[in-house]
Amino acid sequence: MAEFGMVIVGAGEAGARAAVELRTHGWTGPVTLIGEEKRAPYERPPLSKDCLVTEEEPSTVDIINHRKLAQLDVNFLSGSVVTEIDRNNQSLILGDGQQIRYERLLLATGSRPRRLSIEGSDLLSLLYLRTFADAIKIRTQLEPGKHVAVIGGGFIGLEVAASAIKRGCSVTLVEAGPRILTRGVPEEIAYMVEARHSEAGVVFKLGVGIKSIETSDEGHVIALSDGTFVHCDTVIAGIGAIPETSLAAQCGLEIENGIRVSEKLATSDPNIFAAGDCCSFPHPLYGGKRIRLEAWRNAQDQGTHAARSMLDSIESYAAVPWFWSDQYEQNLQVIGLVDCGEKTIIRDLGKNGKLFFHLSTDGRLVAASGIGAASITKDIRIAEILIEKQVKVESSDLENPKVKLKGLLRLQNI
């Protein structure tokens, strides 16, 4: 049976980590990693940051290079597209007609940018950020003096806006919601981020929709629902991502806000697993709530976990969700699921920023978020342990910056 091997579709963070983990965990049979891009697997977080602002010619930051893949005896099929999954014969068909059989299959297909749809508008010139090629294209438009319109006030849109400001552009950011960072970030942090962007020169248009986008040789004109117009040279859209489920759906796997997987990351077919942005899973720390995460560490952790599950591990995936973003000199981090908290305790760190602790009705710490200096990382890491252990914490201890969070671990004998 080993001759069929382990096959991974998707050579991003989750897929690359899974390939390595299969070897680390002792699998000696064939491993095939299939990626649509011709590049070796690379990190995506730098695409909206360093790749856009570096003075040097940008390059990818490899997760694993071709030489290491060869050393691990991973058959890396770059520039290849899977067109069909045949579950009955446990095989894949590639765009060039090649057929690959699998013993176990991992779908790490990620997500794709959500496209802006406005009836009657020419949207072909809009830019989106997902790949290194996208980043290079955006970078060429970020010239000093140019006016850039960013559509979407999530992490990607804000990071691109900050990078454009650093490149000497003027920026207008349009967000249909009443504030930026509406998903999983406390209002006060969102307002702090908005204030920092405004200080840097970003003009915000919040709570407004887009009626039309007209394009000509002179640039773009965005007509907003409040009757105002934005004249700009470039339009960059960052309005969310859609899980890439087409292959899974085509072969009859269950879909629920992504590819539906179990606590072991197994799909409705016991020989097929999924990991990363493309899948939704039940989280044991949150009462089995089914969630889907678009986050770097989740893709990394799920990739390694899925590999172990493919090798018959019975361990449930229970890593605490963690998000981060750099906004100019500020570091923003969220650990856990903020929307599962019923009560929020604020710890003011003065010039180093603020921490927000989110408690359940019974006093358990379910999430923590913070913004400020890089030093908040230490407290976020301690909060992660408290969340993992489902610790009940006194609000007064969380609020008081003189109470060291590390001491709370000792009180719990952790």
In a domain, 324, yes or no: no
Where does a domain end: 184, 208, 239? 239
Same domain, 338 and 306: no
Q: Which residue has the tokens 């087409």?
A: 246
Q: Which of 194, 224, 239 is the last residue of a domain?
A: 239
Query: Is 253 found in the same domain as 228?
Result: no
pLDDT for the residue numbered 1: 33
Which whole number is the average pLDDT over 148-177? 97
Structural domain containing residue 360: 329-411
pLDDT, position 307: 98
Q: What is the pLDDT of residue 3?
A: 64
User: Residue 184 has what pLDDT?
Assistant: 85
- The answer as to whether 402 is a domain residue is yes
> 314 or 183, which is more confident?
314
Q: How confident is the model at residue 40 (pLDDT cuts 50, 70, 90)?
A: very high
Same domain, 24 and 83: yes
Q: Is the per-residue pLDDT at 325 higher than 60?
A: yes
The answer as to whether 318 is a domain residue is no
Does residue 136 sit within a domain? yes
The label of the residue with tokens 């602002």 reads 53
Residues 213 and 246 in one domain: no
Residue at which a domain ends, from 310, 340, 356: 310
Question: Into how many domains does the chain fold?
Answer: 3
d(Cα 52, Cα 265) in Å, to the nearest integer?
34
Do residues 259 and 182 share a domain?
no
Question: Is the same domain home to 188 and 255?
Answer: no
**What's the average model confidence in pLDDT over 21-29?**
97
One domain, residues 104 and 158:
no
pLDDT in tens, 67-102: 999 999 999 999 999 999 999 999 999 999 999 999
Please state, in angstroms and as integers, the Cα–Cα distance from residue 226 to each residue in 123, 235, 394, following that order: 21, 19, 46
**Together in a domain, 149 and 213:** yes
Predicted TM-score (pTM) of the model is 0.95
Q: How many helices (H) and strands (E) does the chain have?
A: 11, 25
What 8-state DSSP symbol labels residue 20? H
- Would you say residue 321 lies in a domain? no
CATH number at 389 reads 3.30.390.30
Alpha helices in 54-200 (DSSP H): 66-71, 132-141, 155-166, 187-200
Q: At what angle do helices 155-166 and 187-200 cross, to 10 degrees?
A: 20
Q: Which of 401, 368, 364, 363 is nearest to 382 (CA)?
A: 368
Cα dihedral 52/54/60/65 (nearest 10): -160
Q: Does residue 126 lie within any of the structural domains?
A: no
Q: Does some domain include residue 315?
A: no
Q: What is the pLDDT of residues 204-241, one digit of tens each?
A: 999 999 999 999 989 999 999 999 999 999 999 999 99
Angle (CA) 240-245-249 rounded to 5° is 145
Asked whether residue 252 is assigned to any structural domain, the reply reads yes
Q: Are residues 201 and 290 in the same domain?
A: no
Contact 39, 65 (CB under 8 A): no
Q: Is the same domain home to 290 and 206?
A: no
Domain CATH for 181: 3.50.50.60
Tell me the mean pLDDT in the region 118-145.
Answer: 93
Co-location of 205 and 107 in the same domain: no
Are residue 163 and residue 193 in the same domain, yes or no? yes
